[in-house]
Every structure is written in C-alpha cells, then in structure tokens.
Amino acid sequence: MTTNTTEMVFTNARIVLPDEVVEGSLLVRGGRIADISASKASGGIDCEGDHIVPGLVELHTDHIEGHFVPRPKVRWNRHAALQAHDAQIASSGITTVFDALRVGIDEDAALGSADMTAMGEAIASATSEGRLRAEHFIHLRCEVSAADVMESFEALVENPRVRLASLMDHAPGQRQFVDLAVYRTYYQGKTGMSDEVFDAFCARRVRESEDYAPGHRLAIAKACRERGVTLASHDDATPEHVAEGLELGVAIAEFPTTIEAARLAGEAGLSVLMGAPNVVRGGSHSGNVSAADLIDIEALDILSSDYVPFSLIQAVFLLAPKIGLPRALRLVTLAPARAADLSDRGAILPGLRADLVRVRAGQADEVPPVVRGVWREGERVA
C-alpha cells in the first residue's frame, strides 16, 4: 500500500484498548494511531456508538482453496480467486491474514503441489502490486506423513510472503483422529469410499506416517529455523507431542486436542491456538477438546477463523459477556500478532498501525455483529 499522509478522526466510538474500553475519539495520522481521547471530537467520522477495534490478525485459514476450486474439477483464475477470498477476509474485519497453503498432498485432494505454488506466486505478486485489501502472508501447513512434502515445501519456502509453517500429521489413530469412528465418518463422508477401500486407505496412511513423518518433521523444522520462519505444532494430544514440538523449536501449538496438551504447551511458553468455529459451534467438529474448556482454565491464547472468516469477529462477541471484550479481542489481535513477530499492529495504541474495524455488536447469540467499516494503515479497505 502507498504511504498514507492524511489525518482522520473517529468520534462517538467505543474504542477497545488492550485492557479497557474508552468512549471517545481516536486520531489517525499518516496511517498510524496518533491519539486516543475520552471525549467527543467535533467533525470526523461519527461512529454512532459503535465499537472501534484493532484489525483482526488471522494465522491459519485454508479458506482460499474454496475460491480456487469453487466446484469439483473447476479451477478458477488464481488471481480472481485470491481477490474474492481477500474481499471476504477484509469484510470480516481481518486486516492481516496468513493464508494456509497445503504442503504434502493426499490422493483425494482437489489441489496439487503445482496449484499451491501458483497460489503462493499469486499472493506475492498481488501484494507487490497493491491489489489486496488485507495484508497477506503465507502459512505452509506441512503434512509430514506425505511422501511429497519436502518437494512441495522446497517449491514454496523461498516465496517472500512465507512467515509461518505448521507440522501436521493427519494419519488415523493419533492427534486429531484418535477416534477411528470419527475418522471414518469424516473421510468416507468426504470421499465416498467403501469400507474395504477405507480400511486399505487407513493402513497405508499409518505406514506412511511411520516411514516419513519423523524425518520430514526434523528437516522442515531445521529449514524454518534457518530462514526465520515461525514454526507451529498441530493437533498435539499428549505430553510427548508437546515435548517433541519444544525440541523442534515451535512457538505456537495449533488446535491441541486435549486439555492436558494445551495446558502443558501454555506452561512451556507456547501460544495455544484454537478455532473460532469451535467457539461459535460450541465444540470441536472432530469431538476433541472445546475452546471454551481451554478459556475456562486460561490455557488459550489465540483464535483462528480456520474455515469461516467471519467466525473470528463472531466468536469475540460471543465470548465478551463471559471474559470481557478487551480479553476476547486480544485472542484475535494482539496475541496472534505477537506470536507471528508482528510488533507494529494488534492493538489500538499510539504509534501502531491504524488497522481498525468499526463494529456494531449483535443481539444475543442468534444475531451476529456487523462489520461496518475496515481500515488498513488508515486507508479504508471495506
């Protein structure tokens, strides 16, 4: 984006700071937050009592894939797909997004390694050309049990937008799919496999995990450390999983599946991330630990929209009556920004980027909040 040298004022607003809500005015100058006042200003944008909150920071969403393949066997223009995804991201109040591109492909996947590389190139070029509303980075979600994961990783890791990678293993009988009945429901529902084909598929996936995952996990972690790419574990279920992640140098524990793993990760200094859809739905679609349980024991640091961009702001206002709006917002702003080493955003404080969202709160659980305006570095983008 071009440098914004203009000055603007938001007034008659409920301004959500890291630890409190101030009713008053906010001054933006040169794309940065210049001043916060507990009084109404004359002129400027009258927010009519709406909330002004920091732009949301999204660390893990694969939502872009649905725009790239909107129907089975249909490939949409990658630049148009990216811009459609970007528009939905921005209109959900997200001003910084890490697009999760799969690295290591299952045979049932609609997208291949070349597709992911092409999408990564589209993100980089659209960013350099200023064609996107939100700021986009790339998150490499690496399926370490896949035979082709290193080839796919090497094709993407030099992309200048890559800043985060996660180590994933979705083989049955562990992590996300400890319960094989849940795994059966998920995959047979997704692919239409017969019982016989599914049983053979499971046996093969277990063998691949045993053969490939340990070496690939080590190699990817080493490459990320050398390049300064933040590393995340994924679906930790046991103390051994957490210990393994710590040894590899992970900073974020994504979607732990048990209270024990989440608590241990937090005690070890990792940022614990869960899905906002888990909050909105009231539980995990895989039958694992709920985000609400982790909030109750203060073992949750970050929420991710995962597969529904709007779930991020929706979860904030669902949680606000229970934990307070400032704390709920930190889960989707300050905490993910810090976990990704983005120190210039994530809060409404003087000197930080004016990534701002005007939100009108919803009414009870059934009526969600309304995003009424989004600004990135002081420029309106939605």
The model's pLDDT over 177-203, given as tens digits with 9 standing for 90+, comes to: 666 666 776 666 666 777 787 777 777
- Distance of alpha carbon 10 from its chain centroid, rounded? 28
| Amino acid in position 236 | D
- In the structure encoding, which two tokens stand for residue 159, read together? 């992309």
Please give the domain boundaries of the chain with CATH numbers for all domains. 1-53+345-382 (2.30.40.10), 56-343 (3.20.20.140)
Query: pLDDT tens-digit profile of 247-286?
Result: 999 999 999 999 999 999 999 999 999 999 999 988 775 5
SS3 content of the chain, % helix, strand, coil (to 5): 40, 25, 35
Instruction: State the burial class of residue 269 (Cβ atoms within 10 Å of its Cβ: 0-12, 13-18, 19+).
Output: exposed
Contact 257, 237 (CB under 8 A): yes
Q: CA 195, CA 97: separation in Å to the nearest integer?
A: 39
Segment 314-339 mean pLDDT: 97
Q: CA 80, CA 122: separation in Å to the nearest integer?
A: 10
pTM confidence score = 0.91
Q: CA 28, CA 123: separation in Å to the nearest integer?
A: 28
Q: In the Cβ-directed half-sphere of 170, how many Cα atoms lie within 13 Å?
A: 18
Q: CA 374, CA 382: separation in Å to the nearest integer?
A: 5
User: DSSP secondary-structure letter at 193?
Assistant: -
Q: CA 168, CA 209: separation in Å to the nearest integer?
A: 10
